[in-house]
Structures are given as C-alpha cells and as structure tokens.
Structure 1
C-alpha cells in the first residue's frame, strides 16, 4: 500500500493581504512618501469630512429658535451641588481683609524724603541696607585672617600687660583654683605678688579683648552710654604699645570689632530716635541716603551733637580720631555736607600717629568708612597711598628683626583695601593718577603685583608698556614672579595683536631662554602661552611652539623621572597643559598645533594615559555643540585619544573610556565625504579594537553609512560608485565582527550584516554573513552567563528563518542549501536539557512554514531588486524536494514527542511547551492538507497538551497560567475541529482539555 502523498496548500498572499487591510482598516498608502507641504491640508480636509459624516450618521438636529433650547447652554450654568458648602467666615479672621487692604504698597513718606548730594545721585542703589555698611569690614577682616593666618591657638608668646595686676587668663584661673586651705589668708600677699606680672600670654591678651567687647555690649544694653564710650576708648588706647609688630594684626582685628559694634549701636539708636513712627523692619531698610538733617527732630540732632562734643573732649589723639571716624555716619542726621570735609581732615591726621604700623592700620579703618559713606570719593585714597610711598623711601622703613618684604607684609591689608576700593568703576584718568604716584615711589614689586591683580585687564593692557618697563628693571626672581601675574592680565585685556603685546612677547621669550630650571620655566610658560594665543596666528604660533618645545626638551633631560607618581616636574607639566586648555579661547586651535602635542609625549605610559584622558575630557566639555569637520583637528585629537591605549589595562574601566571616546567620535562629521568617514572608522578600529564597545560602535556606524549613502546619492550615474562603497562597508563589518569577544554578540552582528547586505542587493555578501552566523551557533556552549543559549537565540533563529524566505539560494549550489544549514543546526546545536525539545519544536514549526512558502508561486514579501526563490526555482524537482523536506520535519516532530510527553516540567516550562505546540499545530493546518501522517502528528501533540493541562491544574499558579493561555488552546482546538477531521482520539482529548479549562474559569 503506497504512502499517502503530502499536499501543501496554495496561498494567494495578495488576496490575504487585501483582506487583512480591510479587516483592520489599513491602506497601502505610505504617509512618508507623500508631499509634506500638502499633508497638513489633506489631513484637515479628511478631518472635516469625517466630522460631517459623523454628524450625518448621528442624525442630530440642533435647534436654537422657536422655543428650542441650545443643548450647549447647559454648560453655561453649573447645577447646584448639594454636597457643596458655602464657605463661612471665621470670626477670628474678621480683620484679615482689613489687614490685607492695609498691606498695600505704602505711599512715600514726606518725612523720609531723600536728599541727594552732589556727585552721589547714582549711589542710591549701591547701598541698600544697613547690613551693607559692615560688608567692607568683613572683607578687610577676612584679608587680615588670610594674610596673617590669625589663629589664637597658635599664639604662644608673651606681650606687655596693659590690663593691670588683676588680669587672669584661662591657665592662671586653673592654677588659682588650686589655692585652697587654712593658710590662704596668710599667703594672700604672696599670691597678689605672683599675679602682678609685667607680661602676659598673647592668648590671655586676646581673651581680655573679647571680654572687653562683651562688657561694652552689656553696658550699652544697660543704657550706660558713657561706660560704653569709656570701654571703647580703653580698647583703642591699647594701640599705643606696639613693641611686637607681629602681634599687631591680632590686636587690630579684635579692637576693630569693638569699635565696629560701638559705631553700629550709636547709628541704630539715632535712627530709632529720628524715626519713632517706623517699625524695626522699616528701620532696617533705611540707608545713609534716606536720612537728611532737614527732617530729623531737633532732639535727635542735639543728641548727635552731644556725641560729637564728647568725642572732641578726648585728650588722646588716637582714640579721638578713631571714634570721630566711627561716628562720621551720624553727620547724616545733622549736616551730610560736612562728611567729605571731615573725611579729608581725618585722613591727614594719620600723619600725626608716630608708630607707622598704627598709622597705616588707622588709614585702613578710614578707607572702610570712606567706602561706606562716599563710595565715589577717591582723592583721600590717593593721599594715603602717596604718604605710604613717601614713607617707603625713608631709610627708617622697617624695624630691627624684619626684612623689607616681611615688614611690608604687615601693610598688605591696607594695600589690598586701598586698591580694591579704588579699582571699583575706575576710569582711565583715575588709574593714571594712581600709577603716576606709584612711578614716583621706589616701585616695589609687591605693590606692583597688587596693582596688576586689583585693576581690570583693559587698564593693565593700556599701560602695559610702562608696567613692563618697570618689571624689566627687577631682579630675575622678582621679574619671573611678576610675569606670572602680569602676562595673564595682559592677554585678557589686549584689544589688538599689534604693537606693545607682540614686543612684550619677544622680550619675555628672551628672558625665558635664560631660564635653567624647568619648574620656573613651566610656571612662566602657563601665562606666556595665553599671551601667545592672543598675539600670534598660524605659522608664527607654530614656530613659537616649536622653539618652546626645543627649550623644554633641553631642560627635561636634566629631570629624574624614576619616580613618576611623585615627580614634581611631571605634575607641573600636567598642570601646565590643563591650564593652557582651560584659559585659551579656542581649544581646537591649540590641539591642532603639532608641537603642543609633543608635550604629552614626555610623560611615562600611565601618566600619559591620565593626561590624555583629562585633555580629551576638557575638549569635550568645552566643545559640547560644535561638530568637527577639519581633518587636521580630527587627526590631532585622535592622536591624543590613541594615548589611552598606553595605560594599565587592569586599571582601566573600558565602559568609562568608551563613553569618553564615543562623545568625541559623535562630534566628527565630514558631511558628504562618506569615504573619509569610513577611513576614520578604520583608524578607530585599528587603535581601539581591544575595547568591545568601540568595536560594536564602529560596526553600527558603518552600517548606518550604507543607508546614508543610498539616500544621499540617488542618480544612476553614481550607482556603480555607490555599489563599491556599499560593498566596502559590508566587508568592513564582516572582518570587524570577529574582534568582539562574545560569540553570541558576533552571531547577532553577522545576522544584522547579512540583512543589511541583502537590502542593498549584495547577495553574495548576505549569503556569506548568513552562513557564518549559522556556523557560530554550532560552536556556542550550552550556557552563557548562567542562561541557556537556546533561550537566548530562539527569537533570532525565528527571525533568520523569515529572512531566509527572501534570501535566494545559489542556483549553482545544491537545492535548499541554506535550509540544509538549519537541518544541521537541529542536530549539532547544544539544546538545553529542560526546554531544548520545546525550542526545537518551535524552530521546526518555522522551518515548515518556510518550506511551504517556498512551494508558492509568489512569496508574501520581497526586497526591491532581489530575485528570491519564487523567481529562480520554478521546476518540479525543486517543489518535490520541498515536499520531501516537509515530510522529514513532520517525522522529526514525531521523534520529539516521546521525549517531551513523559517529562515533568515546572509551570513555566509547561506554559512554554503548550504555547509552542499550539503554534506548531496551527502552522501545520495553515500550510498542509491533513493526511494520515499529519493527523497522527496532531493527535500526539494534542495528547501532550492534554497531559500538561492536567499537570497545570494541580496548583493555583498552574491554574493561573492556564487562564492566561485559555484563548490560545481554545482557538487551536477549534482549528483542528474545522480543518482536520477524524483525528485519532481528538474528541476525548478535547473533552478533557475543555473540562480542565472550564473548571479554571469557574474557580476564577
């Protein structure tokens, strides 16, 4: 008896496609191919037509006349909500509305009118509240702390005791508490003599000043104004003893705290007396310029005069002028026009103080008062600086035990304060007056450095010739120190590249060539490079850099680089490179100068890696938006990036390194020059092929290049050239994929490369990549990273079978030779022990669909320009071979069933198996006419479904899974009943399965 022939159904895919679109209301229109300018108009027209059609279908007639109500009018008035409560006014908040009305913006108070003095009309916004009055003192105080490193814990010396015999410090109190017992009265005279010392510890001195400050505050709170003034005078008298100049800054800071509190107390009290109608908050907003003597009560003015009389009665000069300066603000309550006159008078009185340290400290205090009261007045600052420069010329400048520089450091807060205040809104004329005074002095380098630092770059640049002339006269050590301060300011202030700046560059380079120490050379070079970037361009800049690198190479030969990590020269060189890239205007231009890149070559490998990484990171930080299209710039930056290969591979983080490299690669854009982009990716592959992420990145980028080229060049004349470029891109990917470590990732990229090649009609390349992907699967282990490999690749295998439909077989090879690779894979692939049969069944199902489609006259889909098997193989031999292969696959299913039926799977594995069996049955019924073999296969598969459904019905989680796949199983049973009659034992299996499924639904 002959075997029943296998019949594969014919399927009209065009008819099926039309029905599918009709069912799901789809059209063949592709909106991406339409004219975008007309798309909006068409959309609006279609929308209007749909609205009109919807209104006609609904048959809704809206009438607004003849007594009919517009149905939309109901939206005008909201229905009453019975749950809504009318807000009840809180009787406790009855005055809230009145208070809110009272909080309207106040009208200008006629008593608070502002008197604007001459040359002070634009100062009203510069001083806003009283807190700003002490801002200058806070800045000066910080300068004292920073300059002299003020810290009470570091005080260990002794100073003269001005506080009398009763002064007791912390240490003395501890010793005195021990003196107890019956002989205390007898030893009283001895203990008094013990504490009558002529010197005390410096810490004790400061503690007593702090205590005096507390007493002064307490007396003011107790309304003892005279006692407050007395303590303030006593504190200022302490300036008289200045035998230890190094202790003077400590003493000055704490005495000034007392004087500052006294000045605030008096001024705040006068505001309260002058404006009793104002609240405390309102008083805080009053500034000096909100007060005028014309609207101050006479009683308040008399109190102010009384304070001034008390001050004038002080016999000692120093306390009198200090307190008079501190009370200058109260002249706003009497006559504000006298402030300027008194300020000049007090500034001249600084000459009356014999000790020059005290004299300059007093001038510092007066600078602060002048800045608060008359911000634009600067003539008194010039007078004080002129006095200071005159004193510096005297032979007695300095004291025994001090060098000139150390003694000058005592006056640093005064110089900083004077130049800081004078530089605010400084005009060129004002700077000229100051600089002329300095030129008449002994032109000390420390003072010139503070002038350069304090004033704007534009003013420094205008006087660059005069300043450089003074710097040239200094000793070599001071000259180099001034270069580091002067050159950066000059580079930021120059307006043109001609004239003095270029001449200064040449003269500085002459000095630099005389340097014999690399540390000094690098220190000056940081500032010098910034000026070079401003003054020179192109070839001149490259030539200067070449000279610099030659000088540096000469000095570097003397450096011992045996200890790379702690070598100060290498650290300075690293700081030098970072400083240049941070301060330059165009970092891209710097990196394109070839001599500059040679600086990086001086580092040993690991440091070279760190420096190159930092340089590349700085470049990416500053060039966030702009694309790089200059090949020279790309080459230079890529050379820096290549240094990243010289680091210790064990210490590198490949992912972190890839993020940095990717940000650089993404910026490169050569426009339409796609061949140059391909060459770039080739160079990147050669340099960073050891980083998997970089290899995958270039593969994806080159793959994208193929589509860019296809879309960019569409003319027929360019087709031959474009085809060659596409072949080069596909070949690039093919030979790059093996550089990836993971074979699983290699498989995915080979399959992707095959798909891209076929889309561009490169059939031979597509076939080669496809076969390579299959060959990799055979060598894969059973598990990768703890996961079964069949679970990881089953989706890709299904996709490859679908792709194989349009990938044509080679007519010169055996029939279905690509398909034969999958048949070999079924036996050679390392399927997992648990779900391997289930995944194998899924693959066989896809292969059955592939073979049945191969027998059709027209395939369901094609690729433009590619002749698939439906056009290449139309002979009966090919079709007969297809039928035989389908029969073989059915027998393979019968071989799998005995292996999966008796196995005890868990719930998830059972769900996977049932799903795959249902899809296999539906696929078989879709493509094959049921014969004896087909019915036998279906019967065995339904039997497996029956067993696995019973297994799942044993626990709640299994019943939940059955509920999830309920529709799939029901649909499969209906499909069998409809298309395959007389299946053995089908009715029994069906009834059992339905019973299980119905019980699940009932329990749910």
Structure 2
C-alpha cells in the first residue's frame, strides 16, 4: 500500500478557470447578446425588438382581464356585495356590543319580563283560529315583586322562544308566531338592568329579524307562485316595484301591517313594523318615505335608553332598502342630541353637564350614535356630506362653514370619526373651535382633541395652518392631567415630527417630565408614554440624536414594567440596525438598558416569543459593540456581559466568537499582543463549558484552537483540541435517546481533520494520537453506517494529506513547523500512517455492507472508492478493495448511473498509469 503523491499547487492551477478583467459591471448595461422579446405596439399594431432585463421584469405573462359591461354594471351597483358587507358589519357590531357591556351572572327582571320567567307551557294555548284581538296580552300588575334569574337562563329562554316561533311558523300557525314575537319585543321595554340592555337588544332583534325574513319570503312566494305551485311571475330581488306585485300578495302584506298596527304598546309596535318594514316594497314605490313616520313615533318613548336603541334598530332595518336617503337618520341623531340635552343637569355646574349617576346611561346610548353616524356617512359623496352637516346644525350653510354653536360632545366625537379626511384637514381650526364650544361632559373632551389629531395624521400633507392647529391644541391640553395630556400629545406627535416643530417637541418633553415627576405612572399613562417614545425612536435615524433630546433619558427612567421593556427593545433595535456601536458613553448606556431589559425577562419561559426577542436584541447589541483599538476594554466588556447576561444561552456563543475575533484583530495589527491573545483564549476556554450541547462546544473549541495556532500558541491549541475530543466522546452519553445530528457531527469532525493538517504532531503522545482517538470514537458509537463511512473517509483523506512532501496549507507563523517539515523522510512516520490505513480500509468496506438501503449502499460505495483512489496508488493492495466497492455499487445502482460510470472511468485512468493490470470494466 502506497499513498498517492499530490502537488496541490499544480492541481489548483490546472483546475482554475481562466479569468479576465471586466471593464464594466455585467448588470450596469446590456450584455453583448441581449435577451430579446416581442413587444406589441397597440398604437401602430407592429412588432419591434427591445432589450429585456429578466431581473427587472414584471410578470412575463401578464393576464389580461376581460371585463363584461353587464358585470361592471352589477359590480358598480354593488347590490349583492353591499348586502354582504352590511350583514357582516351588523354581525360584528352586535358581537362587540355584547362584549362591551358585560353583566353579572344574576339579573333581576321586572313584571314586563314575565315571558322569560314563565314556563314554556304557558304558550301552548293559541291556535290558528285565534282572533286578532288576542294579540294584545295585557300586562300583569307592576306591583308584583321583581324576580331574579341567571343571565344564562334568560338567554336560554330567549333561544327557546326563537325556536318556538320558528316551529309555529313552519306549522302554519303564523298568528302564534306573531304573538310570541310581540311578547319578545315587549322585553325591550324593561330597562331596569342597564348593562344587560345591549345584550337583550341583540337577542330580541335576532328574533325579530328572523320573523321579518319569514314574512318577506311568504309574501314573495305569494307574489310569484299560484296556489297550485305554478310560477306566474318573477320578482328580481332588488329591482322590482310595487306595480309588479299581484293584488293577492299585496293584500297579505297589508294584512300583516294591519296586525302590527293594532299592537297596544308603542315600543313593540315600532319594533314589529321595523322587522317587516322591507315588505313595504310590495305595497308602495318609495318605502323609505315611511321611515320618517317611524322616527317620529320614537319620540313617544319616554325611556332614553329604549328610545336610543329603537333608533339603532331603525338604522339597521333601513339598510335593507339599500337607499341612500339619510333624512330619517339625521332626524334620529338630532333627536338623540335633544335627549342628551334634556338629560344634562344644570344643577351641577353653571355650564351644564351630566352628573355621575347619568354617565353610565350615556355610555350605554353611545353605540346607537356610533352606528347611526356610520350609516349616515357610508359612501357619502362630498356634496351629500355638506348637506348632512347643515342638517345636523354643524354648518350654517354649505358656503358658511363651521359655526360656533355647541354640539353634544359624544355626538361630535362620532361625527369626527366618520367625516372624510380632507374635510377634517381643511377645516381643522374650525373643528377645534367647535370642540371648544361643545363643553358638556357627555364625552371626555380630550378624546375629541385626540381624535382630530389621529384623523389629521391620516393625510398630513393636506393639513392647512399646521402651526395654528398645534398651538391651539398644546394650549388646551396643557390644562389637562398627565393621562389626558399624554393621549392627546401622542395623537399629534407624528405631525409635530413631520413638520420639524422642535420648539413644540421640547415643550412637550418638559411638560411630561414636570407632570410625571414624583409620581408612579399608571398603566394607561405608561402605554401612552411608550407610544410617544417609540415614535421618537422611529422618526430619528441616529440614536445619539434621540438621547440628546431634552429629558428623553429622564422620562425613560420613570417608566417600568412591560412598557419600559418595549421601549428598551426599540432602543436596542435602533442602536444595532445601522452598524457597529463605537461611542463608549453610548455603549455604557445601552449596556444599562440591556440590564434593565434582561431583569424584566422571564427566564423560566424563554420559549415565549417576547422573551426570545429580548434575548436576541441583547445578543445583537453585544455582537455590534466595537471598542476599536481598545482591545483590553473590549475584553472587559465581554466579561461584564458574561456576568450580566449569563442566562442567555445564545449570548455565550456570541461571547466566544467575539473573544476569538478580538484576538484575531489584535494579531493582525502587527504589534506583540501575545499576552492579550492568551487572555482571550482563556476567556473562551472558561466560557465554552457553560454552553449546552456538546457539538456546539466542539465547534467552539476548534475555533478557539485555530485562533491559538494563529497566535503561535501550540500548547494551548493542543489542550483545546483535547477538549474538543472529550466533547465528542461525551456527546452520546449526555444526549441520550435524542436523534443524533449526523450532518453536524460529520461537519465538525471534518473541520477537526482540516485543522489537524496544521497542528504539529506530538511524539510524546504519538503522532497519530488524535486520529486514533477519533477512530476509537467512531467504532464505539452506534451511529448510522452512512455517517461512520463518511467519517472514515475523512480519516483516510487526512492521513493521505499528512503523508505528502508539501502540505496544502500551514500556520501563518514561521516558528511553527508543519508535519511535512518535522517528519518528512522519516520512514516510521509514513509507516505509522499506512499501518493505520490497513485497519481502516477493511473496516470501511464492512460498514458499507451494513447499510440496509440499496441506493444508499451504492452511493456510499462510490464515495469510498473515489476517496481511496484519490488517496492511494492503485496497486495489488488497493485494487481488490476498489473492485469490491465497484461491484457493490453495480449491484445496487443502475448501470447507466452517472456517478457509477464516472467513478469507473476515474479508476481506469489511474489503472492505465499504474503497472497493475485492469480488471474493472463497466
């Protein structure tokens, strides 16, 4: 057996591709042979050739959408889409309404809710022959004592009533369905439990909506089908008129409205007519005109809460008509404004307002204002917006803009929320004056100022008189408390920063510091302050500029909890996203910020995304710190980080990498830093054992050993390599039954073999002490045959390389002699290498035969054969092994396999150059 001699310099030159200097960048201009594409010129209807850059091209096969005019008309009308959108919005609104006003488990019900506490048997008496006058179920005496029922029982009873109405309807007992629906509607007369009323409204209107749909469908069926089932007309869902409806269907429809009209109580009568209100389309051409009558009827409802929600139901049912008329909605808003005005107490303050007992009622009525105002401005044109504002009393006329008359604050808030952004931007000063005039306490006034700021931020480029707006707002909010001040300022901060209003920014920060001094910040205040500081960090590109802002760091020190952590995370992100951090003062400040962030990190739940993000930011900060030529200070910084952030596992790896990088940098500056390099290696050597995962430790030991060699510290390198071998020996024992990272182990051992080429052999422990240790580990582990075979190939390649007259690379230190200089010519050295190979090669063949997969076994055979043929001369000792491996590959792979044919060709080439007769054929 004889190693194959290699000339690595000659091989590199022979395999290198020819190179020539490029005069221009290949992407800076069209290449000599541009890619051409056909361009259709629609104007001249001709074909030309044009250069096409595939890197900048859009979709090469753009799809052409063919639009049918009828489809466009249907889409532009948006009837089906509009209905679906309205349905989704109403469903979402109801869900949020119930969540917004939670109630206790037990609620008391008055005598008006006897339908709920009664047993189901009370409703079994009616029949289809019941007379019309039986529809009025007289109330029992209000003197009865209030009853207590659980919320779940109340809801369950309503669901039972809904099912009972549905069953009665499908059993042709429509009078019973109507009677039960009336009783359900009467429940809305009970406002004794205020917070339960929104939930009650949702449950009851679900029942009424169901009844309305059933009535609509019955009348439509009578209009389209005869009694024998024959269809004599078709009413297109959204385009029919009253003139298209047969008389019989009209009579049925009119009968339903008559039945509803005989209901004694006003509120159930309004709700039931609203439930079937879309059916007016079967009777009259302009059903929307009847809405004003119902709006007027609601003025007879004395209870403010019941009347507000009744108007809410009007807005909901009016959507079924798909009409753009908003007169009835404007009347609803004006009526609600009048109710609020009457509710306000003039006894409390000279300017009027709501006492504390009425504030919950105002809050409960707010959803009605919100939904109605949204309905008014839904898809409103600019001209219609002007008319609406005049009708609401906000504008005197469309020529004379916002007037100084006050508006109820809660109504104004939802008006501002729905106004088009361009109107808000253009009339911002007038709006601020209107807010100032509307000084009742139905709504916290600062929220209106805040809302204006948020709306203005939507289109900052369109804001007129920015200085005057900000001056007005700053003057007003300076009289508020800290919480209100922060919320308003937060809304205007983007405008202030965008327009570079440094004076206002300075004033705001001074005011915040003054208000927040000697005070423990509440959660709402912390949230607003967090938003303000994050906006500042997002606006400025330079972190040092942010730190130089007056009182920024003082305000930051006042924060605590999760809000402080979020701001700290933004600071670290900003500090490290633009390159290395050099300034010592900034580094110290960021270190303290990292300490604060680390102390808030939940070390037990490090799998949490937030905790992982905090750990990543701290690690990135440590990695991006650069003390320049102050190497000792940088190493001290790494030691401080190891003590401060020792629980962050990934940071320990970064510390080792940084220490090794620091040692390498010191070695490259041309001065004698041997002592410092030893300190860096000692730092890494102490840090590595605290890192979990033996494969990670192995790689870090190898990296540190490479740095030690670079510094000429051979003894340190030997010790680090021994530590790496110990990690490899301990890997299976610690990792237990976990799946072994085969690729990781293979990569690490290959890296170790590459490093051993530079490491001088130690005759005291044996020149091949480390390769033999690796072989021992391979033989003692239950790794897969594929992994063990590849590891043996790595040992073969290492041995073949060490046998060469000239090694492919050396340590960049003249005083460190490679093995080619130390042992070449020593026959015992080469004999020891060959002796090792005599045991490795048969072992390699046996391991390959253990592979159960035929395809894998064939591939492994070819890989081993190529390795052996590259490492040894083909002689009578090596040829039988290669022949056996080729036969194994032939039995496992297709005869035309490219890897197989190329390997055989390579062997034949080597055989022709040797004296051994060829016995390998395809």
TM-score w.r.t. length of structure 2 = 0.61
What per-residue deviation string (whole Å, max 9, x for no partner) do you get for residues 18-63 of structure 1? 7x99xxxx6543469778989999999xxxxxxxxxxxxxxxxxxx
1:6-45 equivalences in 2 (<5 Å): 13=7, 17=10, 27-30=15-18
Distance in 2 separating the partners of 1:142 and 1:10: 80
Given candidates 591, 595, 601, the residue that maps to 1:645 is: 595
Query: Does 2:217 align with 1:268?
Result: yes
> Which structure exhibits the higher relative contact order, with contacts defined as CA atoms closer than 8 Å and separated by 6 or more residues?
1
**Structure 2 counterpart of 1:713:** none
Residues 181-238 of structure 1, C-alpha deviation per residue, up to 9 Å, x if partnerless? xxxxxxxxxxxxx999834525488777655544433332222344444444455456
Q: Which residue of 1 aligns with 2:252?
A: 303
Structure 1's 651 and 397: CA in aligned 2 closer, same or farther, altered over 3 A? Answer: closer
Distance 1:919 1:549 in 2: 78
Is the 8 Å Cα contact of residues 112 and 186 (structure 2) preserved in structure 1? no
The farther-off stretch of 677-686 and 418-427 is 677-686
Other-structure match for 2:486? 525
Q: Secondary structure at the match of 1:394?
A: helix
Q: 1:619/1:843 Cα in 2 relative to 1: closer, same or farther (>3 Å)? A: closer
Q: CA deviation at 1:368?
A: 1.6
Question: C-alpha displacement at 1:685, in angstroms?
Answer: 5.2
CA shift, 1:404, in A, is 2.8
Q: Which residue is equivalent to 1:416? A: 370
Provide the C-alpha distance between the structure 1 equivalents of 2:504 and 2:404, rounded to a whole number of angstroms.
40
With normalisation by structure 1, the TM-score equals: 0.57
Pick one of 313, 326, 340 that aligns with 1:378. Answer: 326
Alignment of 1:736-885 (within 5 A): 736-740=680-684, 741-742=687-688, 748-750=702-704, 752-753=706-707, 766=710, 768=712, 772-774=716-718, 776-777=720-721, 786=730, 798-800=753-755, 802-803=757-758, 819=760, 822-823=762-763, 826=766, 835=776, 853=805, 859=806
Match of 2:693 in 1: none
Query: Is residue 432 of structure 1 aligned with residue 400 of structure 2?
Result: no
In 2, Cα distance between the equivalents of 1:458 and 1:349? 37
Q: Does residue 464 of structure 2 align to residue 506 of structure 1?
A: no
Q: Is the CA contact (8 Å cut-off) linking 1:130 and 1:287 kept in structure 2?
A: no
Taking the aligned partners of 1:122 and 1:38, their CA distance within structure 2 comes to 49
Equivalence map 1:486-635=2 (5 Å): 486-492=452-458, 494=460, 495-496=462-463, 498-508=466-476, 510-512=478-480, 515=481, 521-522=482-483, 524-536=485-497, 540-541=501-502, 544-545=505-506, 548=509, 551-552=512-513, 555-559=516-520, 569=521, 571=523, 574-580=526-532, 586=538, 588-589=540-541, 592-594=545-547, 595-602=551-558, 610-611=565-566, 614-615=569-570, 628=578
Cα distance in 2, alignment partners of residues 663 and 348 from structure 1: 67
Moved more, 125-134 or 324-333: 125-134
Local SS of the residue matching 1:156: strand
Paired residues of 2:704 and 2:720 also in contact (CA < 8 A)? no
Counterpart in the other structure of 2:98: 145
Alignment of 1:218-297 (within 5 A): 218-236=167-185, 252-276=201-225, 289-297=238-246
**CA–CA distance in structure 2, aligned partners of residues 590 and 885 of structure 1:** 63
CA distance in 1, matches of 2:630, 2:18: 32
Tell me how far apart the structure 1 counterparts of residues 179 and 268 of structure 2 sit (CA, whole Å).
10
Q: 1:451 to 1:794 in 2, by over 3 A?
A: closer
Give the deviation of 1:125 after TM superposition: 0.7
C-alpha separation in 2, matches of 1:530 and 1:678: 46
- Residue deviations 1:457-476 (CA, integer Å, cap 9, x gap): 55444454344445557489
Compared with structure 1, are the counterparts of its residues 503 and 286 closer, same or farther at alpha carbon in structure 2 (3 Å cutoff)?
A: farther
Whole-Å Cα distance in 2 between the matches of residues 253 and 883 of structure 1?
A: 93
1:159 aligns with 2:111: yes
Once residues 837 and 302 of structure 1 are traced to their aligned partners in structure 2, the CA distance between those partners, rounded to angstroms, is 95
User: Could you report, residue by residue, the CA deviation over 1:669-728 in whole angstroms, capped at 9, with x for unpaired residues?
Assistant: 99xxx989999999985874663322355478889999xxxxxxxxxxxxxxxx986989
Relative to structure 1, the CA distance from residue 28 to residue 386 in structure 2 (aligned partners, 3 Å threshold; closer, same or farther) is closer
Distance 1:247 1:794 in 2: 71
Taking a change above 3 Å as real, the CA distance of residues 479 and 350 of structure 1, as seen in their structure-2 partners, is: closer
Q: How far apart, CA to CA, are the structure 1 residues paired with 2:309 and 2:618?
A: 57
Q: Which residue number in structure 1 is paired with residue 429 of structure 2? A: 465
CA distance in 2: counterparts of 1:34 and 1:698, whole angstroms: 37
Contact 1:381/1:422, CA 8 A, preserved across alignment: yes
Change (3 A) 1:32 1:403: farther
CA distance in 2, matches of 1:466, 1:472: 10
1:331: how far off? Answer: 3.1
Q: Within 5 A, what are the aligned runs for 1:304-323?
A: 304-311=253-260, 318-323=267-272
Higher helix share: 1
1:268 to partner: Cα distance: 1.4
What's 2:826 paired with?
Answer: 886
From 293, 296, 299, the equivalent of 1:348 is: 296
SS in 2 for 1:290: coil
Contact 1:703 1:730 in 2 (8 A): no
Aligned positions, number: 755
1:362 and 2:310 aligned: yes
* C-alpha distance 700-833 of structure 1, shift in aligned 2 (>3 A): closer
Conserved? CA contact 1:213–1:258, under 8 Å: yes
Matched residue, 1:403 = 357
Contact 1:461 1:493 in 2 (8 A): yes
Structure-1 residue corresponding to 2:45:
none
Unaligned runs of at least 5 residues, structure 1:
1-7, 45-105, 174-193, 516-520, 560-568, 707-722, 756-765, 805-818, 854-858, 894-915, 921-941, 980-989
Q: What residue in structure 1 maps to residue 652 of structure 2?
A: 692
Deviations 1:374-418 (A, max 9, x none): 442222222222222234333798999983323334433321222
Deviates more, 1:325-334 or 1:241-250: 241-250
| Alpha-carbon spacing, 1:502–1:291, altered in 2? closer, same or farther (3 Å) | same
Let me know the Cα RMSD of the aligned residues. Answer: 6.8
Partner of 1:66: none
Residues 814-842 of structure 1: per-residue CA shift (max 9 Å, x gap): xxxxx5x74466489898699499999x9
The structure 1 residue matched to 2:78, chosen from 122, 125, 128, is: 125
SS in 1 for 2:108: coil
Distance (whole Å) between structure 1 residues aligned to residue 76 and residue 294 of structure 2: 23
| Contact in 2 for aligned 1:390/1:441 (Cα 8 Å) | no
Is 395-404 or 461-470 further displaced after alignment? 395-404
In 2, Cα distance between the equivalents of 1:396 and 1:609? Answer: 41
- Please identify the structure whose Cα radius of gyration is greater: 1
User: Contact 1:737 / 1:750 at 8 angstroms: preserved in 2?
Assistant: yes
Q: Secondary structure at the match of 1:155?
A: strand
Change (3 A) 1:576 1:242: closer
